[in-house]
Amino acid sequence: MEKAFTFFLLTLFLLMARFPVNFGNLSFLVSLDLRSNNFHGNLPQEMARLHWLKFLDLSFNNFIGDVPSWFRFLHQLQVLKIGHNSFTGSIPSSFSNISKLETLNMGYNSIEGQIPKLIGSLINLRELNMRGNKLIGSIPLSLSNASRLETLDISYNSLQGNIPEGIGNLHNMNWLSLQYNQLSGPFTISNISRVEFIEFTGNSLSGSLPNGLCNGLPILKGLYLSTNKLHGHMPTSLSNCSQLQLLDLSENEFDGPIHSEIGRLSNLQTLYLGTNHFTGIIPQEIGNLVNLAELAMEKNQITGSVPISIFNISSLQILSAWQNNLSGFLPREIGNLTDMQHLQISGNKLIGEIPKEISNLVELEELDLGFNSLSGSLSPNMCSILSNIEELYLGNLTNLVGTIPHSISNCSKLTKLDLSGNKLTGLIPCSLGYLTHLCILPVSVGNFSTSLIKFYANNCKIKGIIPNDFGNLSSLLDLDLSENSLVLSIPKTIGNLRNLQRFNLPFG
């Protein structure tokens, strides 16, 4: 009879999507899991009578109102999850009365105010998640008293001040995430021997990384430090983080060389060094990173040639080295990167012909070779092979000659095409009109997919007329055919381009 009554109540809750007042009558309830429903409104205070409750999960609902202070009466509570709701107000200091609490997850609400110092008195706490709220003030020093803490996530708030040195005493910490706050001061974390992930992205941390950084972080797998104000050289001791899988130092002020010791991180899968002041060459030892899938070093002052060893990393999917001072040839070994999806090396000083072996990169979605001194012509069967290409940037390759191949229509997924500032000649292929996803069109061809968004073919030597089939490019936002030798005739079908925002075709 008691089970039937409980089932009736829960069914009624789902229908009403609100908590009835008599819910507190279930006084022997030990576990209550109502996550991922559509419950809304305030939590009834009668729930404070659930004195035996150990597990309470109300996450992923639409509850509102202040975080209830009556949670303090649930003395047996070990797990409290109220994340992904619309709770407001501050964190009640009375939470310190729930002395058996092991998990406190309040992430993604609209909770304000400071983190109460009394949180540090929850000595059994293993997980504290306050991610995605409106918290202000500093991180309380008392948190270092929660010595059993394994996960601390207070990212995406407005916390300020330095990272307390006491956090380094939390020797059981496994995951430390303080991303996207307003924290300042030096990077002080070390000697947390069990930590696997440190996430400090999007703050204002300054200073240099300590030389002995990895000596006390033996099992570190992820180090996220992008978008700060860190400077100085990359410490060679980073190579002691032998378990490191992701290293993100991008968007800082690091300078000096990329040291050859980086090649010792054999487990590394992701390496982000972009938007810094790195100089010198890419070390040959980077080819030892046999598990690397993503390598980004754009917007630096890196010189020298691209080492052939990079093209032996068969797992590489993203190579971003645009806007540097790289020189020399693109080697034929580029064809070894058969898993490559994004190849971005524009804005360098590369010379020589575009290797035909690029046609081996059948998974390629983006190819950006623009603003180099590469030469050659577009292969007639280019798009028959690169059938997955979505973005193709070959603009301002001053030695690119020949015509736009009619097979361009085989690039059915193409959304952005830039062939501007080259020495292309001939007619605009009518086949461009088949590229229905094209949004940007800067060339002078005719059978493109209707996905095309941008098409740039300005400052070439294209002649003839604008094909009627251009009217099929329904997604086109930007069309630039200026500085060519086109016949003064705009087809009526251009009127079909309802989404067009920019059309540049000055005559004369």
Tell me the three-class secondary structure of 260-282, residue by residue: HHHHHCCCCCEEECCCCEEEEEC
The residue out of 89, 113, 137 marking a domain boundary is: 113
pLDDT score of 314: 93
342: in domain: no
Quickly state the pLDDT bin for 128 (edges 50, 70, 90).
very high
User: What letter would DSSP give residue 323?
Assistant: S
Determine the structural domain holding residue 421 and report its residue range.
Answer: 378-508
350: in domain: no
Token pair belonging to 97: 């009365």
CA dihedral defined by 386, 358, 314, 301, rounded to 10 degrees? Answer: -120
- State the CATH number of the domain containing residue 77: 3.80.10.10
Quickly state the pLDDT bin for 447 (edges 50, 70, 90).
very low
487: in domain: yes
- % of the chain at pLDDT higher than 90: 57
pLDDT score of 3: 47
d(CA 143, CA 123): 10
d(CA 164, CA 146): 13
Residue 451 has pLDDT above 70, yes or no: no
- % of the chain at pLDDT higher than 70: 85
The residue out of 55, 78, 113 marking a domain boundary is: 113
Taking only the tens place, the pLDDT of each residue in 252-267 is 999 999 999 999 999 9
459: in domain: yes
The residue out of 113, 148, 169 marking a domain boundary is: 113
User: How far are the Cα atoms of 18, 287, 406 from residue 436, in angstroms, in the given order?
Assistant: 48, 40, 15
28: in domain: yes
Taking only the tens place, the pLDDT of each residue in 323-334 is 999 999 999 999
User: How far are the Cα atoms of 138, 147, 285, 445 from residue 127, in angstroms, in the given order?
Assistant: 19, 11, 39, 58
pLDDT score of 416: 85
Quickly state the pLDDT bin for 110 (edges 50, 70, 90).
very high
415: in domain: yes
Quickly state the pLDDT bin for 20 (edges 50, 70, 90).
low
Taking only the tens place, the pLDDT of each residue in 259-313 is 999 999 999 999 999 999 999 999 999 999 999 999 999 999 999 999 999 999 9
pLDDT score of 303: 98
120 and 139 Cβ atoms separated by less than 8 Å = no
Taking only the tens place, the pLDDT of each residue in 354-366 is 998 998 999 999 9
The order of strands in the sheet holding 62-66 is 40-41, 62-66, 86-88
d(CA 482, CA 127): 60
Q: Please provide the average confidence, as pLDDT, over all residues in the chain.
A: 86
Residue 413 has pLDDT above 90, yes or no: no
Which of 408 and 288 is assigned the larger pLDDT?
288
pLDDT score of 332: 93
Mean of pLDDT values over 105-116: 97
261: in domain: no
Mean of pLDDT values over 68-75: 93
Which of 59 and 377 is assigned the larger pLDDT?
59
Which of 59 and 19 is assigned the larger pLDDT?
59
pLDDT score of 16: 45
pLDDT score of 401: 85
The pair phi, psi for residue 62, each rounded to 5°, is -130, 40
Mean of pLDDT values over 415-441: 73
Token pair belonging to 372: 């180099």
User: Is the model's pTM score more than 0.85?
Assistant: yes
Residue 502 has pLDDT above 70, yes or no: yes
Highest mean pLDDT range out of 39-43, 283-287, 449-453, 478-482? 283-287
| Interior angle at CA 290, CA 300 and CA 297, nearest 5 | 10
492: in domain: yes
pLDDT score of 387: 83
Quickly state the pLDDT bin for 446 (edges 50, 70, 90).
very low
Mean of pLDDT values over 104-110: 97
Query: Considering its fold, how many domains does the chain have in total?
Result: 2
Taking only the tens place, the pLDDT of each residue in 162-193 is 998 888 788 899 999 999 999 999 988 867 88
Mean of pLDDT values over 429-457: 52
